[in-house]
A and B are shown apart, each in its own frame.
Chain A
Amino acid sequence: MKKNKLIIDIIWKAALIISVSLTIICALNYGMSAFLRAETDANVAAAKKAASLDTELEEKLLSSTDIKEQNELILQRRALALSQQEQFYQTYAYANDRSYYYHYYGKFYELYKQVESANVLILGSSHAVYGLNPKYLEQADTGDNRYYNFALNGATPSYYLDWYNGPFTEAGYQTPDTVIFCVDWFMFDSEWMWRTIGYDTPNGKGIDVMRKIIAADKDGEESKEDEEPTGESSEKPAWYDIDAWETYIFGKIPLISERDRIPEMISWVCGGAEPMTVELADMYGYDKEYEHDYFRDSWGDVVSEYYKGFVPWEANSLWGVSSRDAVRKGYEENYADLQTLLDIFEAQGTKVIFVMLPEYIPGRTAASFDKYNDIITDIAAERDIPYLNYNTELKSDINYNSDFYSDWGHMNTAGSDAFSGIFARDIQKYLS
Chain B
Amino acid sequence: MLFNSLSFLIFFPVTVAVFFILPQRIRKYFLLAASCYFYMAFIPSYILILAFTTVIEYFSARLIAKYNENVRVKRLIFVLCLVLNLLTVGIFKYLGFFGEIVNFFGRTLSLGTTVFPSIVLPIGISFHTFQALGYLIDVYRGNQPAEKNFIDFSLFLMFFPQLVAGPIERSGNLIAQVKAEHFLKHENVVNGGRKMLLGMFKKIVIADNLAVISDRVFGDIENFSGLYLLIGAVCFAFQIYCDFSGYTDIAIGAAEIMDFRLMKNFDTPYLSSSPAEFWRRWHISLSSWFRDYVYIPLGGNRVKKWRWALNMLITFALSGLWHGAAFTYIVWGALNGAYVVLDRITKKARDTVTARINSVFLNGAAKCFGVLFTFTLILISWVFFRAESFSDAFYIFGNVFSRSFADFTGITSLRMYVSVFSVFAIAAIDIFPKIYDFRKLPTALRLSVYIIAVVIIAVFGAYDNKSFIYFQF
- Residues of chain A touching chain B, judged by Cβ–Cβ distance below 8 Å, are 3, 6-7, 9-10, 13-14, 16-18, 20-21, 24-25, 28, 96-99, 242-243, 245-246, 249-250, 255-256, 259-260, 262-263, 299-300, 315-324, 407
Contacts and interface: CB of A to CB of B under 8 A. Distances in A.
Contacts of B407: 315-317
B360 interface: no
A254 to B, nearest CB: 11
B455 A318 contact: no
Q: Decide if the interface of chain B is mainly helix, strand, loop or mixed.
A: helix
Contacts, number: 92
Contacts of A21: 451, 454-455, 458
A318 B186 contact: no
Contacts of B451: 17, 20-21, 24
A255 B6 contact: no
A294 B463 CA distance: 34
A319 B414 contact: no
A13 B10 CA distance: 18
Contacts of B5: 242-243, 246
B459 A318 contact: no
Contact of B415 (A13, A260, A324, A407): A260
Given A259-B460, A262-B414, A321-B222, A246 B6 contact: yes
B412 A319 contact: no
Q: Decide if the interface of chain A is mainly helix, strand, loop or mixed.
A: helix
Interface string B437-473: 0000000000100110011001110010000000000
Interface of B: 5-7, 10, 184-186, 189-190, 193, 219-220, 222-225, 388-389, 391-392, 405-407, 409-415, 447, 450-451, 454-455, 458-460, 463
11 contacts: A6-B185, A18-B454, A21-B454, A97-B412, A99-B412, A246-B7, A260-B414, A317-B223, A318-B223, A319-B223, A323-B389
B10 A25 contact: no
Contact of A99 (B225, B410, B454, B459): B410
Given A97-B412, A243-B5, A318-B225, 17 more contacts: A6-B184, A7-B184, A9-B186, A25-B459, A28-B459, A99-B412, A242-B10, A246-B5, A256-B459, A259-B460, A300-B409, A315-B407, A316-B407, A319-B222, A321-B222, A322-B222, A323-B391
A243 B410 CA distance: 26
Among B10, B409, B455, B463, which residue has the most Cβ atoms of chain A within 10 A? B409
A317 B455 contact: no
Given A13-B447, A21-B454, A322-B222, A255 B414 contact: no
Contacts of B411: 99
Contact of B6 (A13, A243, A259, A323): A243
Contacts of A3: 184
A321 B6 CA distance: 41
A275 to B, nearest CB: 18
A353 to B, nearest CB: 30
A250 B186 CA distance: 33
Given A28-B459, A255-B459, A10 B454 contact: no
